Structure 1
Amino acid sequence: MKKMMLMFCGWLLLVLAVMGIVLPVLPTTPFVIAAAACFSIGDPKMYQRLESSKVFGPYLEGWRTKQGISASRKASAIAILWILMTLSILLTQKLWLTVLLIFIGIGVTTHLLLMKTKK
C-alpha cells in the first residue's frame, strides 16, 4: 500500500513538474525532486528513468551535486517565463491580474538569478 501511494504521489508530482515547464507560476525543480524522492522508494525503475531523462535529469543532478543550473538553462527559463507571462497578460487584459503576473514574474526571475550557476 505504501509503495502504491508513493507511486501515485510521484506521478502526480511529475505531472505538476511537466506543467511547470510551460506554466510560469509553477516551479519545475521542486516537483521533480519530490517526484524523484517518491519514486526512489515506490518505483525504483521510474526513478532511474527520471535520473537519466534529458529533460529532468539535469535538474536532479544539479540539486544532488549542489552545482546549480547552467547559465543557458537559466536564460531559457527566464525567456520562456516572460514570453508566457506576456501572453497571459495580453489575454487577460485585467489590471489587477497584470500587476499580479508582473510581480510573480519578477519574483521567479529573481529566484532564478540568485540560484547557483553551474560552471
Structure 2
Amino acid sequence: MKGVIRTLLIVTGTLSVMLGILGIFLPLLPTTPFLLLAAFCYSRSSDRFYHWLITNRWFGEYIRNYREGRGIALRQKVIALSLLWLTMSYSIWFVVSQGWVQLLLLGIALAVTIHLVRMKTFRPEPQEAELPVEYSSSKETD
C-alpha cells in the first residue's frame, strides 16, 4: 500500500507542477497553491523530486520564500499583477461579450489583486559590496 500512496503523491505533485506552470500564463489559474501542493506531495514521497522543486531555478526560491513566511518578491508581484490585468483586460474587452461574465472576470481580477497586494513583500537584503581598503587614517599632508 505504501508504494501506491507514494506513486499517487508523485503523480499529484507532478500534475500540480504542470498546473502551476500553466498558472504563470493563465490568470484564472493560480500558481502558488499548485506549487505548494507539489512541494507537499514531493516532500512526502520523493526526496529527489522535492530537492529538484525547491532548488529549481525558476520557482525554487519563490516556493522557499513563501513557505518560510518571507512573502513574494516585489518584482514577482509587479509581473503577476501586470500579466493579470493585461490578460483580464483583453478578455473583458475582446473575448467575452456577456456583461455578467465581464463583471465576474473583473471581480476575480480585483480579488486576486487585493490578495497579492496584501501579501507580505519579500525584500532581499543587498549584498555588501567589497569596498577597497582606504588609507585615510594615515594621510600625509604636504
Please indicate, yes or no, whether the TM-score normalized by the shorter chain is above 0.5. yes
Q: Does 1:60 align with 2:75?
A: no
Q: Does 1:117 align with 2:121?
A: yes
**Aligned alpha-carbon RMSD (Å):** 1.1
Identity of aligned residues (%): 37
Deviations 1:29-88 (A, max 9, x none): 111011011011222211111111122112211122211011111001000001111122
Residue segments in structure 2 that go unaligned for 5+ positions in a row: 124-142
Q: Which has the larger radius of gyration?
A: 2
- Who is 1:50 aligned against? 53
Q: Which of residues 56, 64, 72 is equivalent to 1:69? A: 72
The list of structure 1 runs, each at least 4 consecutive aligned residues, that deviate by more than 6 angstroms after superposition, is none
Number of corresponding residues = 119
Q: What is the TM-score normalised by the length of structure 2?
A: 0.79
Q: Does 1:3 align with 2:6?
A: yes
**Superposition deviation, residue 93 in structure 1:** 2.1
Whole-Å Cα distance in 1 between the matches of residues 31 and 58 of structure 2?
11
**Which structure shows the bigger proportion of residues in helix conformation?**
1
Deviations 1:86-106 (A, max 9, x none): 122211222111110000000
- Who is 2:19 aligned against? 16
Whole-Å Cα distance in 1 between the matches of residues 58 and 98 of structure 2?
34
Q: Name the SS of the counterpart of 1:27 in structure 2.
A: coil
- Who is 1:27 aligned against? 30
Q: What is the TM-score normalised by the length of structure 1?
A: 0.93
| Contact map agreement 1:32 1:59 (CA 8 A) in 2 | no
Whole-Å Cα distance in 1 between the matches of residues 58 and 99 of structure 2?
35
Residue segments in structure 1 that go unaligned for 5+ positions in a row: none
Whole-Å Cα distance in 2 between the matches of residues 49 and 29 of structure 1?
17
